[in-house]
């Protein structure tokens, strides 16, 4: 349903079946579907783990942890069943890539789940899809049913003697459930409150059993690695950053869309060439490089390689692939406020620094944006944010703090321009109503 | 409490997917809400009983998830995203327009029960912003004019 775009610089791996009716299982088989899982069935589990490790595949949900390494933490022997959990609760603002995978290539996710299962000695997997994506849940339900009908799932898959079950699961609206431990709580039928770690899910996860949790794009990459080899995949990107990424370009761009580009693609080129530059020929002000929880980059900081390590060096994160481009007409105080409204709304309230911090920050930023701020508020916003960092069970507190700290540091002047009751310099004439606050 | 045959078939099937009964709770609540319109005390009672939970345990889960509601909504729930990607491309103006056009605010319902309006967080349509969902249908690359057409189409149904 969502429009597809293309650009000559794209390297189509995960998106290679997009627009090719691969939701149909016969079509998927014609397009090399279910070959990777059959290959995996003939391999030693350790060899699969090592192959994925060597490919340099890192978690596409945002954390960027080496996928093969994550799989290797699952104990070989376990008295409790082991599980694979696909995270399709895509809800990081700026991110809309898993949606396309589920829409165009659901079987690749199923295949990735089964391969992860074979590699870790698990016999069941769950594909969790956010509640808003009802049409995608229906596509996935059909794909799973079709795979069972062919004997690709269930008992004795492909006549190999290996059993593997795949189940779908739908959410009901909660950003925080995208965090792995909250995801497990939600799947178990509870509020999505994060769990303290250790123990890590690889040891104690779903119903107490060892659990591998991977993002949908990560799992959809796995079959391609099995067929193309670790070396091919690793060489698509810079060292230790194998493969490609689905970058979701949004905001003030002439050609927004989801583009699959090699890991390490230059951000400036991504904005000006792939995304077609800033709308209306206006100037660039800031970029959110990987979803709303990443520190923002200014227009002078965009000549960087979009891979996990380079982005870390640039003081930000590659995150979930959501590149939100902000032009010169945008008020950064209002932008920070909108981000904070989101985190305040989504905070589960379990950890005090996050629950209280996001609420205070939303109130302070709201007052500030409407001209009621005082000078010490600017430092206070930063102080509050810094004190949320690392003090919560899950990274939602960090996710709220990091962009805020970066906006205060990099756009302090815009905060100063709001002082002493001055109206917002970017506000359109006549708009004086306070921003709506989500209940 | 009577649900459709499809609901019952799905419910029995889902119970076989998990080692604990409770695990079906979140998707089951949403499917029940789709049939009844909201999670009424009767629905909560019924689901709690089926899953060996207390009504309080079920309500406790309901209050966590933004799509679940214990209050009736209009036939068509218009959900306008105003998160950053949509905001930059006119999501807030779109929400204001819907408020004026429908004469209701955030989480309001028109007196005839046709529409409800909600300001929502990121719905995963960032590259096609601004976007809105009406019930489960996505409407993307919206303008005020397009939004009017979308609402008129639903009104006809």
Tell me, what's the ipTM? 0.97
Contact between A180 and A213 under an 8 Å Cβ cutoff? The reply is yes
Domain identity same for A264 and A317: yes
Contact flag A189-B25 (C-beta cutoff 8 Å): yes
Q: Is residue A12 part of a domain?
A: no
Class of B76-156 in CATH: alpha beta
Q: CA-CA distance, A8 to A188, in Å (whole number)?
A: 44
Which of A111, A63, A69, A106 has the alpha carbon at shortest distance from A88? A106
Domain identity same for A143 and A29: yes
- pLDDT value at position A425? 84
Which of A335, A356, A146 has the alpha carbon at shortest distance from A252? A335
- Provide the CATH number for the domain around residue A142: 3.40.50.11540
Mutation to test the A interface, candidates B26, B57, B129, most A Cβ within 10 Å: B26
pLDDT in tens, B57-99: 999 999 999 999 999 999 999 999 999 999 999 999 999 999 9
Contact between A366 and A337 under an 8 Å Cβ cutoff? The reply is yes
Q: CA-CA distance, A69 to B51, in Å (whole number)?
A: 38
Q: Is residue A205 part of a domain?
A: yes
Domain identity same for A248 and A179: no
For chain A, say whether B106 makes contact (Cβ under 8 Å).
Answer: yes
Domain identity same for A249 and A305: yes
Contact flag B26-A172 (C-beta cutoff 8 Å): yes
Mutation to test the A interface, candidates B14, B64, B86, B99, most A Cβ within 10 Å: B64
For chain A, say whether B127 makes contact (Cβ under 8 Å).
Answer: yes
Domain identity same for A36 and A120: yes
Domain identity same for A52 and A118: yes
The structural domains of chain B, with segments of one domain joined by +, span: 5-62, 76-156
Architecture of the domain delimited by B5-62: Orthogonal Bundle (1.10)
Domain count, chain A: 3
Cross-strand pairs, A298: A286
Which of A292, A327, A362 represents a domain boundary (last residue)?
A327
Facing B26 at nearest CB: one of A186, A258, A345: A186
Contact between B69 and B147 under an 8 Å Cβ cutoff? The reply is no
- pLDDT value at position A432? 44
Q: Is residue A351 part of a domain?
A: yes
Q: Is residue A14 part of a domain?
A: no
- pLDDT value at position A430? 42
Query: Average pLDDT for residues A232-237, to the nearest whole number?
Result: 98
Q: Is residue A66 part of a domain?
A: yes
Q: CA-CA distance, B83 to B85, in Å (whole number)?
A: 6
- Provide the CATH number for the domain around residue A266: 3.10.20.600
Chain A partners of B125 at a C-beta cutoff of 8 Å?
2, 96, 99
Which of A99, A103, A84 has the alpha carbon at shortest distance from A130? A99
Which of A327, A345, A377 represents a domain boundary (last residue)?
A327
Which of A434, A319, A307, A315 has the alpha carbon at shortest distance from A369? A434
Residue A43: how many CA atoms within 13 Å on its side-chain side?
22
Domain identity same for A316 and A338: no
- The residues, any chain, with a CB within 8 Å of residue A310's CB and separated by 6 or more, are A238, A264, A304
Q: Which domain holds residue A380?
A: 332-416
Domain identity same for A374 and A266: no
Facing B129 at nearest CB: one of A250, A345, A346: A250
Is the C-alpha dihedral spanning B4, B8, B13, B16 positive or negative? positive
pLDDT at A325 over 90: yes
Which of A300, A327, A354 represents a domain boundary (last residue)?
A327
The whole-angstrom distance between B123's CA and the closest CA on chain A is 7
> Mean pLDDT of all residues in chain A?
95
Q: Is residue A151 part of a domain?
A: yes
pLDDT in tens, B25-57: 999 999 999 999 999 999 999 999 999 999 999
Contact flag A175-B51 (C-beta cutoff 8 Å): no
Domain identity same for A226 and A306: no
Residue A372 banded pLDDT, cuts 50, 70, 90: confident
Q: CA-CA distance, A411 to A26, in Å (whole number)?
A: 54
- pLDDT value at position A1? 65
């Amino acid at each position: 349903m969502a429009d597809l775009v293309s650009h000559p610089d794209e390297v189509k791996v995960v998106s290679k079946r997009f627009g090719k009716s691969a939701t149909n299982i016969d079509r998927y088989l014609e397009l090399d579907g279910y070959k990777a899982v059959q290959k995996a069935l003939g391999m030693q589990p350790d060899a699969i783990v090592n192959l994925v490790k060597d490919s340099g595949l890192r978690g596409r949900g945002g954390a960027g942890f080496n996928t093969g390494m994550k799989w290797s933490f699952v104990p070989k022997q376990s008295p409790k069943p082991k599980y694979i959990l696909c995270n399709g609760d895509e809800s990081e603002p700026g991110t809309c890539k898993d949606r396309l995978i589920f829409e165009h290539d659901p079987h690749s996710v199923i295949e990735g789940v089964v391969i992860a299962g074979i590699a870790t000695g698990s016999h069941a997997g769950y594909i969790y899809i956010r509640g808003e994506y009802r049409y995608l849940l229906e596509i996935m339900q059909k794909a799973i049913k079709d795979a069972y009908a062919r004997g690709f799932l269930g008992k004795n898959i492909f006549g190999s003697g290996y059993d593997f079950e795949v189940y779908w699961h739908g959410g009901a609206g909660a950003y925080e459930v995208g965090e792995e431990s909250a995801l497990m709580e939600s799947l178990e039928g509870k509020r999505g409150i994060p769990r303290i770690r250790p123990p890590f899910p690889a040891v104690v996860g779903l119903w107490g059993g060892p659990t591998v949790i991977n993002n949908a794009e990560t799992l959809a990459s796995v079959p391609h690695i099995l067929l193309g080899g670790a070396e091919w995949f690793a060489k698509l990107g810079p060292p230790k950053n194998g493969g490609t990424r689905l970058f979701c370009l949004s905001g003030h761009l002439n050609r927004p869309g989801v583009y699959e580009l090699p890991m390490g693609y230059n951000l400036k080129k991504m904005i000006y060439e792939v995304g077609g530059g800033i709308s209306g020929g206006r100037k660039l002000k800031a970029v959110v490089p990987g979803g709303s929880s990443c520190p923002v980059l200014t227009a002078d900081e965009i000549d960087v390689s979009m891979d996990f390590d380079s982005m870390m060096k640039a003081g930000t994160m590659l995150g979930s692939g959501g590149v939100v481009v902000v032009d010169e007409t945008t008020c950064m105080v209002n932008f920070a406020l909108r981000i904070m409204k989101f985190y305040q709304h989504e905070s589960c309230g379990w950890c005090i620094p996050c629950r209280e911090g996001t609420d205070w920050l939303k109130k302070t930023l709201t007052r500030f944006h409407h001209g009621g701020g005082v000078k010490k508020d600017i430092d206070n916003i930063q102080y509050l944010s810094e004190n949320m960092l690392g003090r919560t069970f899950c990274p939602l507190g960090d996710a709220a703090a990091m962009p805020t700290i970066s906006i205060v540091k990099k756009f302090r002047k815009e905060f100063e321009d709001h002082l002493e009751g001055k109206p917002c310099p970017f506000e359109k004439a006549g708009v004086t109503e306070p921003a709506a606050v989500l209940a | 409490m009577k649900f459709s045959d499809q609901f019952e078939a799905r419910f029995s099937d889902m119970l076989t997917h998990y080692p604990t009964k409770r695990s079906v709770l979140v998707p089951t609540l949403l499917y029940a809400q789709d049939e009844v319109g909201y999670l009424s005390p009767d629905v909560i009672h019924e689901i709690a009983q089926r899953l060996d939970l207390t009504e309080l345990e079920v309500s406790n889960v309901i209050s966590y998830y933004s799509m679940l509601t214990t209050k009736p909504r209009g036939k068509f729930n218009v959900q306008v995203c105003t998160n950053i990607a949509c905001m930059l491309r006119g999501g807030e103006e779109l929400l204001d327009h819907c408020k004026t056009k429908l004469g209701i605010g955030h989480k309001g319902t028109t007196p005839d029960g046709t529409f409800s309006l909600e300001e929502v967080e990121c719905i995963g349509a960032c590259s096609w912003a601004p976007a809105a969902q009406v019930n489960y249908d996505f409407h993307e690359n919206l303008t005020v004019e397009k939004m009017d057409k979308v609402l008129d189409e639903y009104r006809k149904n």
